[in-house]
């Protein structure tokens, strides 16, 4: 029985290692995880599907926008349930 537990634990670790907590908003084309575009993420935030994370230094005009992986994955799962 311990061997089965180790197998389950290692597969869970592998899944979480391939899923980042956040990723950068794509500059062009789609993102590498879901294939969604920059404008789709902005629109999804407007509609309340997820909340983008914005990082910038004090006094700077530009920064980095991050997309929360788990919130987008939950949205995709929900859309699959509705469609199916």
CATH code of the domain covering residue 59: 1.10.1660
The CA-based angle 30-63-21, given to 5 degrees, is 55
- What H or E segment, with its residue span, contains residue 64? strand 64-68
Confidence check: pLDDT of 10 > 70: no
Q: What is the domain count for the chain?
A: 1
Strand (E) positions, 11-59?
22-24, 53-55
Q: What is the predicted pLDDT for the residue at 59?
A: 95
Residue 15 lies in a domain: no
Per the structure, the complete domain to which residue 31 belongs is given by 20-83
Confidence bin at 48 (pLDDT 50/70/90): very high
Cβ count within 10 A of residue 58: 4
Judge whether 56 and 78 are in contact, CB under 8 Å. no
Residue 10 lies in a domain: no
Global pTM value: 0.76
* 13 occurs within a structural domain: no
60 in a domain, yes or no?
A: yes
């Amino acid at each position: 029985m311990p061997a089965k537990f180790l197998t389950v634990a290692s597969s869970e670790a592998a899944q979480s290692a391939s899923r980042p907590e956040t990723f950068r908003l794509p500059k062009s084309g789609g993102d590498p995880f879901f294939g969604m575009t920059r404008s789709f993420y902005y629109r999804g935030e407007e509609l309340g599907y997820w909340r983008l994370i914005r990082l910038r230094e004090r006094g700077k005009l530009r920064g980095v926008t991050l997309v929360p992986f788990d919130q987008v994955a939950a949205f995709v799962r929900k859309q699959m349930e509705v469609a199916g």
